[in-house]
Amino acid sequence: MPGQPIKYPFLDLGTANESYMAAMREAAMRVINSGRYIGGEEVEAFNREMAAMCDAPHAIGVSNGLDALRLIFEGYKVLGKLSVGDEIIVPANTYIATILAIGHAGLTPVLVDPDQRTMNLSVEGIQRGLSQRTRGIVAVHLFGRVCWDNDIARICRANDLLVIEDAAQAIGARAATEGLFRSRAAGAIGHAGAFSFYPTKNVGALGDAGAVVTHDEVLADAVKALANYGSDRRYHNIYAGFNCRLDPIQAAMIRVKLPDTDKVNAERFARAVAYDRHISHPAVIKPLMPATPTQCVWHQYVVRISDGRRDDFREYLRKNGVETDIHYPTPPHMQPCYAAETAHAPLPLTERLAKEVVSLPIGASTSEADAREIAAIINNYPNI
């Protein structure tokens, strides 16, 4: 079979940004003409709009998602709620940034296998990771699926754990839990949440950008100061801080897209529904559909196929014009930078998922009709 040119790209950011071009040009000119290139009204306006979107009182724009996570940990350190060596439970099957941030703050990541169906941290995982030194968890809302339920809430409360959310992939997602956390926005469920506006995220800047969201005013002030050299007012440094500020030009770009968050997420949901309805190949395991349409914002649509077949499956799709990706091919604990660290329990599921997962196109350059066509191509995969 002759290879076809790529008809279904994994993600074409040019296409994804097309409908925003005019508004982004205008917003960029506003910043250029303002003469204010660090901080100022553009960033303040972003902070207000981001907080409102998450129904949280505080949002602080920062340099990127990794720094957002790191600033939360550093913030709790300067406030005396965390100290060097404290343990933080984290799912092992996350993007490495989650784990790097814990380590950068001098804390100890305790890696645990996720739940097989949701691929997220579960109460069983937390139970496996708990020790006398556990002070918190990172609830990673992987692939856009909210990692939260009443069992997790109970175990965190019972053990007085800080709940830090890695909401980098989950902007606009909402908890499907009944009761206290009903419909809470991802990033505003726990004590503090970290967001990323990396260009490929559901809401992407034109470069690096991130945000911290929290209900805790004291933490918000600490994060704001830490991100700006530890300065609470001009030339007055209360902490030995960092430079992790959000650029006004990126704040302006994000502000163009932020009002469309629910719309772009609903479009992703429609593509996920199309995949779910139409993929019926016996060798392909589909992701769990969410309990509510907003519990998952489908940053990725990740299917699984057995280890020995994955390369062949991807090659078949590529020959039929479908570009795919792998999130993620090597788990963080198997990366060369962590080769010397052996202090983790066996992580068989994380290691198996890394060999079986395939991400299908689901971003703004993929239509619902594309998803149906891709499903038909998958169903014709000859090797069962």
Ligand X SMILES: *Cc1c(COP(=O)(O)O)cnc(C)c1O
Binding residues (CB under 6 A) for ligand X: these are 64-66, 94-95, 97-98, 140, 166, 168-169, 196, 198, 208, 210
- Tell me, what DSSP letter sits at residue 287? P
Nearest CB to ligand X, comparing residues 144 and 241: 144
Beta carbons of 95 and 168 less than 8 angstroms apart: yes
- As a whole number of angstroms, the distance between CA 68 and CA 101 comes to 9
Minimum distance, C-beta of residue 309 to ligand X, in the bound complex (Å): 26
Nearest CB to ligand X, comparing residues 268 and 281: 268
Minimum distance, C-beta of residue 172 to ligand X, in the bound complex (Å): 15
Beta carbons of 354 and 95 less than 8 angstroms apart: no
Nearest CB to ligand X, comparing residues 98 and 134: 98
Minimum distance, C-beta of residue 251 to ligand X, in the bound complex (Å): 14
- As a whole number of angstroms, the distance between CA 153 and CA 163 comes to 9
Beta carbons of 143 and 287 less than 8 angstroms apart: yes
Minimum distance, C-beta of residue 97 to ligand X, in the bound complex (Å): 4
Minimum distance, C-beta of residue 192 to ligand X, in the bound complex (Å): 14
Identify the helix (H) or strand (E) that includes residue 70: helix 65-78
The token pair that represents 137 in the structure block: 């968890």
Nearest CB to ligand X, comparing residues 54 and 140: 140
Nearest CB to ligand X, comparing residues 92 and 274: 92
Bridge partners (DSSP) of residue 111 are 90
User: Rounded to the nearest 10 degrees, how much is the dihedral formed by the CA atoms of 258, 262, 264, 269?
Assistant: 150
Minimum distance, C-beta of residue 22 to ligand X, in the bound complex (Å): 26
Residue 286 phi, psi (nearest 5): -90, 155
Nearest CB to ligand X, comparing residues 46 and 95: 95
